[in-house]
Structure 1
Amino acid sequence: MNNRQLFLSHLAQTTDFPLMIEIEKAEGVFMFGPEGKKYLDLISGIGVSNVGHRHPKVLEAIQEQLDKYLHLMVYGEYVQSPQVKLAKALCDTLPSHLDNVYLVNSGSEAVEGALKLAKRFTNRREIISCINAYHGSSHGSLSVGGNEIFKRAYRPLLPGVNHIVYGAYSHLEQITENTAAVIIETIQGEAGIKVACKEYFQALRKRCDATGTLLILDEIQAGFGRTGKFWAFEHFDIVPDILVCAKGMGGGMPIGAFIANKTVMGAFKNNPLLGHITTFGGHPVSAAASLATIQVIQEEKLLEQVEAKADLFKKLLVHPMIKGIRNKGLMMAVEFESFEVLKPIIDRAIEKGVITDWFLFCDDSMRIAPPLIISEVEIEQACGLILEAIG
């Protein structure tokens, strides 16, 4: 049996129509099939490969750590240099209020930890999230997701979860002294790149402060430079109480984190002690890769390039069938009339060697979220092939 047959026979499937693209190697913004077919990756593995595939400095950090040690002990007991250095580097990118990092393995796990922390610290039980939010697929993260299609088959889920409309000022009144936390994507991703205004986020912050509610910002997709700031909340002049990150954090390695101040995070130490446990969280190889990723973003000045690259996409992607482009930096949605129009375009683009996608809750829009290292020439090449696919 070849790899495709083994894939279908033995690997768990999540749809009856997987893409079935076989990849043998990846480098920079490109992936390569076993017979050498070249694909330009315009979605970064869904917001993961922000510094590109197999960045040399990330590979160097991984190799250096491989020569020292792998897993040693469950999280939080041993002093491990990769974890310590990464936590310090993360805090250095943040306002001083956010100075304590809990490392996990994924975005869903980071959300789970953040929800537990908010409930434990406030001794409240209500959580508020947004309609069409996506925060992950485990039971707790699914509970605060905002699309019933993905939830109904798994009920009962967490009790005490209520939903508001992202960007709707009037809904902020639903945040009360009973609310442990509001969890909200700074930029709504799977809803199709929806961006609320600065005034909304400032009103949200003010309402949380007034009610003693913790504000959890989910930057699993939007963080690590994707929007042109290291953290998307920097666009809105607010600071969360808990910040959640993953995806682009690891340079291609699995890692996530939730970040708060030391006082809030201290709630996990008592009643009960070991209030949150992870075996592999902050795995030393992933932590080393994440630290290298931060350094690449900073040293190669990738943040300064994001807006110009996004503008080039918007300048080149002009066609009567394109209804509009929504974006915050290189987190982009190209709108078409319907999924029925969009899906064949995505399929033809893949045939031509450009990988795009749609959104879970917005299937009339094409996802574009390339590695931040993408060059102008590669943007021009990608847009030309997309326009050919449209035509």
Structure 2
Amino acid sequence: MNNRQLFLSHLAQTTDFPLMIEVEKAEGVYLYGPNQEKYIDLISGIGVSNVGHRHPKVLEAIQNQLDKYLHLMVYGEYVQTPQTLLAKALCDTLPDQLDNVYFVNSGSEAIEGALKLAKRYTGKKKLFSCINAYHGSSHGSLSIGGNEIFKRAYRPLLPGITNIVYGGYADLEKIDSDTAAVVVETIQGEAGIRVACTNYFQDLRKKCDEVGALLILDEIQAGFGRTGKFWAFEHFDIVPDIVVCAKGMGGGMPIGAFIANKEVMGVFKNNPLLGHITTFGGHPVSAAASLATIQILQKENLIAQVEEKAALFKKLLIHPKIKGIRNKGLMMAVEFESFEVLKPIIDRAIELGVITDWFLFCDDSMRIAPPLVITEEEIKGACSIILQAIDDVA
């Protein structure tokens, strides 16, 4: 059996129509197949490869850690240099009050920990999240998700959850003194790149303060430079009580975190002790890769280039079939008339060597979220192929 047959026979499938792109190597913005196929990856493994595939500094950090140790002990017991240095580097990117990091393995796990933390710290049970939000696929993260299509088959889920309109001022009045937390994607991702205004975020922050609720910002897709700031909430002049990150955090390695202040995080130590537990959270190899990722973003000036690169995409992607482009930095949605128009274009672009896709809750828009290392020439080449794909399908 070849790899494709083994994939279909023995790997659990998530759809009846997987992309089935076979990859032998990846580097920078490119994926390479076994028969000299070459693809420009415009989705970064869904927001993961912010510094590109197999960045040399990430590989060096991984190799250096491999020579020292791998897993030693469940999270939080041993002093492990990759974890401590990464936690300090993360806190240095954040406002002073966000000074305590809990490492996990993924975005879903980070959301789970943040929800538990908010309920434990406030002593309250009610949670608010947004319509068409996506926070992950585990039971708790699915519970606060904002689209019933993905939830209905798994009910009953967590009780006490209300979905509100992202960017909707009127719904802020629903947040009351029984609320433990309001969980919001700073930039809505799977809704098709929706960006609320600064006044909304400031009013949301004020409302949480008034009722004693914690504000949890999900930066799993938007963090680590994707929007042109290290953290997307920097665009809106607010500070969350808890920030959640993963995806672009690891340079291609699995890692996530939720970050709060030391007082809030301290409730996990008592009643009960070990209030949140993870075996592999902050794995030393992933932590080393993540620290290298932060250093790359800072030293290679990648974040400062995001707006210019996004502007080039918007300048080049002009076609009668394109109805508009929504974006915050290199977190972009190119809108078409319908999924029926878009899907053949995506398929043709892949045939021509550019990988894009659509959004879970917005299937009329093409996702563009390339590695931040993408060059001007690579952007021009990718856009030329997308436009060719549109013409070929038309």
TM-score calculated relative to the size of structure 2: 0.99
The aligned residue for residue 36 of structure 1 is 36
Shift of 1:135: 0.1
**2-structure distance, mates of 1:6, 1:163:** 41
1:149-199 per-position Cα deviation (integer Å, ceiling 9, x unaligned): 000000000000111000000100011100000000000000000000000
Provide the secondary structure at the position in 2 that maps to 1:383: helix
Does 1:377 pair with 2:381?
Answer: no
The aligned residue for residue 235 of structure 1 is 235
Shift of 1:370: 0.1
Amino acid at match of 1:317: L
**1-structure distance, mates of 2:19, 2:48:** 18
Shift of 1:10: 0.3
1:6-31 per-position Cα deviation (integer Å, ceiling 9, x unaligned): 00000000101100000000000000
Q: How does 1:86-235 map to 2 (within 5 A)?
A: 86-235=86-235
Shift of 1:287: 0.1
Structure 1: which 4+ aligned runs deviate by more than 3 Å?
none
Does 1:353 pair with 2:353?
Answer: yes
**2-structure distance, mates of 1:164, 1:16:** 32
**2-structure distance, mates of 1:52, 1:163:** 35
**2-structure distance, mates of 1:174, 1:352:** 49
Provide the secondary structure at the position in 2 that maps to 1:332: strand
Q: How does 1:303-342 map to 2 (within 5 A)?
A: 303-342=303-342
1:330-374 per-position Cα deviation (integer Å, ceiling 9, x unaligned): 000000000000000000000000000000000000000000000
The aligned residue for residue 252 of structure 1 is 252
**1-structure distance, mates of 2:208, 2:132:** 21
Provide the secondary structure at the position in 2 that maps to 1:371: coil
1:28-62 per-position Cα deviation (integer Å, ceiling 9, x unaligned): 00000001100000000000000000000000000
**2-structure distance, mates of 1:370, 1:19:** 18
RMSD over equivalenced CA pairs, Å: 0.2
Unaligned ranges ≥5, structure 1: none
Amino acid at match of 1:295: Q
The aligned residue for residue 50 of structure 2 is 50
**2-structure distance, mates of 1:76, 1:313:** 43
**1-structure distance, mates of 2:78, 2:35:** 46
Provide the secondary structure at the position in 1 that maps to 2:184: strand
The aligned residue for residue 77 of structure 2 is 77
Amino acid at match of 2:105: N
**1-structure distance, mates of 2:252, 2:184:** 25
Amino acid at match of 1:44: S
Question: How many residues are paired up?
Answer: 391
Amino acid at match of 1:385: I
**1-structure distance, mates of 2:215, 2:198:** 15
Shift of 1:261: 0.1
**1-structure distance, mates of 2:80, 2:154:** 38
**1-structure distance, mates of 2:263, 2:243:** 15
Unaligned ranges ≥5, structure 2: none
The aligned residue for residue 267 of structure 1 is 267
**2-structure distance, mates of 1:166, 1:17:** 31
Shift of 1:117: 0.1
1:256-293 per-position Cα deviation (integer Å, ceiling 9, x unaligned): 00000000000100100000000000000000000000
**2-structure distance, mates of 1:342, 1:267:** 48
Provide the secondary structure at the position in 2 that maps to 1:318: coil
**1-structure distance, mates of 2:3, 2:204:** 50
Shift of 1:200: 0.2
**1-structure distance, mates of 2:106, 2:208:** 27
Amino acid at match of 1:182: V
**1-structure distance, mates of 2:174, 2:239:** 21
The aligned residue for residue 295 of structure 1 is 295
**2-structure distance, mates of 1:14, 1:314:** 32
**1-structure distance, mates of 2:245, 2:86:** 13
**2-structure distance, mates of 1:203, 1:170:** 11
Amino acid at match of 1:265: M
Percent identity (aligned): 83
